[in-house]
Amino acid sequence: QGAMFRCSARCCEDSSASMQEVQRCIERCHAPLAQAQAIVTAELEHFQDRLSRCSLQCQDQAKDTLDSGGSESRVRGQLDACLASCGDQHLRLVPQMARKMRDGLAAIQ
């Protein structure tokens, strides 16, 4: 953020620049931060979406078991195991997600 502040400060040093030029200059300084935020947000949304789909699948399976006469305790146990499996699967994806974020952020600089 220090570099972004210095960049923005330099935009204001040119006394011959119009307000629009200064504004565009400052926007260029902030662009890398906006790109970085977009990369992180996209990766987190993708991860959350995958986890949500897995959870919904667990709920569907539990409903199917209940509909076919499974006891409530059996269904609850099945749902808990399925959700735990979703969590485990997605925890294993975290390093890969972090690597993709790092690679994306490195490409900006």
Query: Domain range holding 68?
Result: 1-107
- The pLDDT tens digits of the residues spanning 66-93 come to 999 989 999 999 999 999 999 999 999 9
The count of other CB atoms within 10 Å of the CB of residue 37 is 10
Cα 77 from Cα 82, distance rounded (Å): 9
pLDDT band of residue 3 (cuts 50, 70, 90) is: confident
Give the tens place of pLDDT for each residue, 23-40.
Answer: 999 999 999 989 999 999
Query: Using N-to-C axis directions, what is the helix angle for 19-67 and 2-11, rounded to 10°?
Result: 140
When the pLDDT of each residue in the chain is averaged and rounded to a whole number, the result is: 92
- The per-residue pLDDT for 2 is 78
Q: How many domains are there within the chain?
A: 1
